[in-house]
Structure 1
Amino acid sequence: MKKIVVLLLLLANMLAAENWQDELESWKQQRLASLSREHGWLSLIGMDWLHKGKNSIGADKTNDIVLPHGAGQLGYFTVEDKSIHFTPSPDSAIKADDKAVTETIEVFMDSSGKPTIFTVDTFQFYVIERGKPALRIKDSQAKTRTEFKGLTYFPANEKFRVKAKFIAYNPAKEVEIINVLGLLSKESAPGKIQFEIDGKTYSLDVLDAGDSYEIIFADKTSGRTTYGPGRFVYVKKQDKDGNITLDFNKAYNPPCAFTDYSTCPLPPPQNRLPVYIEAGEKKYNH
């Protein structure tokens, strides 16, 4: 009887391991599809600061914002103290939120929660707020996308799929996050997750991301086999007993690993782990 129980347990563990591997492969495919989609992060070709007054855009070199191809004059953004507007050039064929723009419209930044998305030719662009307004420009013909070499990963390793415990901060902890531009933002961390690797205890502050937590971290592989500034990983929120599964095999590179024009956050000091996390996405070789 004991032998049967042992065999059943072994079979159950084998099936669980196979299911985890399958789920991990599915996640990798979704990650690749998201990154390489038409106007995903690989298509990002520019981030141009907008100054007060008129900011013209188009392929003509006389514009304030010069595009690599397309119509010479698309129109111009007008930046005022509390608002931004866009005025199209005649016959520019530009759209905003999938609607043709034929007259001056108000433009909403990403900080509004629903930025105005412009599309024309192979381009997509929208205004972001990073201390001041900037135009984020994507092009589906970008070389970073058309010549993308793919993603590489460490071999899947269950050692880095760990059981963690959520420890709430009461009240929530204010965490200072610096981005690659050197801009500081203050985020609210509802708690930290605590876990063990090779018998040693570590912890990471988490940021609320709806039904999951976002973790920005670095480790001793950073700058060696993984992207220097750090990586991201998301985890499902804790169960009623505070348990969380942290799978570093799903750690991935921020957009800054692929383009010079994104504004990625950097790991706070407390999220720099003194251990080699040899799991997840490796450094991208351009």
Structure 2
Amino acid sequence: MSTESEEEQQSWKAWREQRAETVSAPYGSLSLTGTYWLVDAVDGRIEGVPGHWAQTGDGDGVVLTAGPDDGLTVDGRPLDGAVPLIADTGPVDASRLVHGERRLVVLHREGLWAVRIWDPAAGARLAFAGIEAFDYDPRWVLPAVFRPYGEDRSVRVPNADGVERGLAVGGELAFTVGGTGHSLAVAVEPDGSLWGVIADGTSGTGSFRFRFIRPPAPAADGSVVLDLNRALLPPCAFADGFICPFPPPGNTLPFPVEAGERAVLTK
């Protein structure tokens, strides 16, 4: 193995260690115990969650009403009365809403509001034993070219909770495997990096049913490295409360990608 390949493999190992630390952190992916949609909340109550939850009359937010016996705090102060809330987009451990060790995060998707519960004592977190992955293979480090669409697009795809939702895509990532060209629809993140949902010949058998890719921001000429050794398990592989999108049409590769993360290991 060349020195460059050895360095890439060491970087990959460090990335794997960081991934395991991130998902198993007190408020990492493994600590999500549920996503509760207010439209399904009977009389404004969510099972196992204190307070009364209601969408505002204009649909622009949520009103939470609770008393001192409910044990909720907002911005570090005990809640006694009603407080208006909007979607919380910051880090989970910095959530405005706290109930004991749990963090309550307000979520907004396509006009609907929900509350997510993050608990360091979640069973999935306590049972976590690591992330199984294929061995590193430099052949899966592929040169690619990003071709932006030039306009915002959205495709409807099923999600892990059985609901179909829009998935934003900003362009195609083109590359070659075994002399054959392929392309994947991907989104452009605020920092310029790319994100996509893919499946392949291992999906559902040798690996989870679909995975994420997160290539870096393309160069000025559109060139970018697609390292499939860093194909990620989606959050819903770690906790059922996530509503991960499935791959859009055309994003299922017609061959096995024996690279990247495969499954969650438990004790």
TM-score by structure 1 length? 0.82
Q: Which amino acid aligns with 1:125?
A: L
Q: Which amino acid aligns with 2:63?
A: H
Shifted more, 255-264 versus 94-103: the winner is 94-103
Q: Among 86, 93, 98, which residue is 2:64 paired with?
A: 86
Q: Is the aligned partner of 1:76 residue 2:52?
A: yes
2:68·2:78 contact (CA, 8 Å) conserved in 1? no
User: Which of 1 and 2 has higher RCO (CA within 8 Å, sep 6+)?
Assistant: 2
In 1: Cα distance, 2:66 partner to 2:9 partner: 50
Q: Which amino acid aligns with 1:21?
A: Q
Other-structure match for 2:250: 270
CA deviation vs aligned residue, 1:79-104 (integer Å, no higher than 9, x gap): 33324211232254422244443442
Change (3 A) 1:219 1:93: same
Q: Secondary structure at the match of 2:149?
A: strand
Q: Which amino acid aligns with 2:233?
A: N
2:128·2:264 contact (CA, 8 Å) conserved in 1? no
Shifted more, 149-158 versus 186-195: the winner is 186-195
Q: Among 36, 39, 44, which residue is 2:27 paired with?
A: 39
In 2: Cα distance, 1:242 partner to 1:147 partner: 42
Other-structure match for 1:221: 202
Q: Which amino acid aligns with 2:48?
A: V
**Deviation at 1:247?**
0.4
Other-structure match for 1:95: 73
Change (3 A) 1:78 1:154: same
Q: Which amino acid aligns with 1:256?
A: C
In 2: Cα distance, 1:79 partner to 1:254 partner: 29
| Runs of at least 5 residues in structure 1 that lack an aligned partner in the other structure | 1-12, 57-63, 68-73
CA deviation vs aligned residue, 1:149-181 (integer Å, no higher than 9, x gap): 211110000111100111222344443333123
In 2: Cα distance, 1:139 partner to 1:188 partner: 30
Identity %: 29
Query: Structure 2 matches for 1:27-66, cutoff 5 A?
Result: 27-51=15-39, 54-56=43-45, 64-66=46-48
CA deviation vs aligned residue, 1:41-80 (integer Å, no higher than 9, x gap): 1011122222478524xxxxxxx4225xxxxxx4322333
Other-structure match for 1:126: 105
In 2: Cα distance, 1:97 partner to 1:176 partner: 37
| Runs of at least 5 residues in structure 2 that lack an aligned partner in the other structure | none
Greater C-alpha Rg = 1
Other-structure match for 1:139: 119
Q: Secondary structure at the match of 1:284?
A: strand
Query: Structure 2 matches for 1:1-286, cutoff 5 A?
Result: 14-51=2-39, 54-56=43-45, 64-66=46-48, 74-81=50-57, 82=59, 83-110=61-88, 113=89, 117-131=96-110, 132-211=112-191, 212-228=193-209, 230-286=210-266
RMSD: 2.3
1:53·1:79 contact (CA, 8 Å) conserved in 2? no
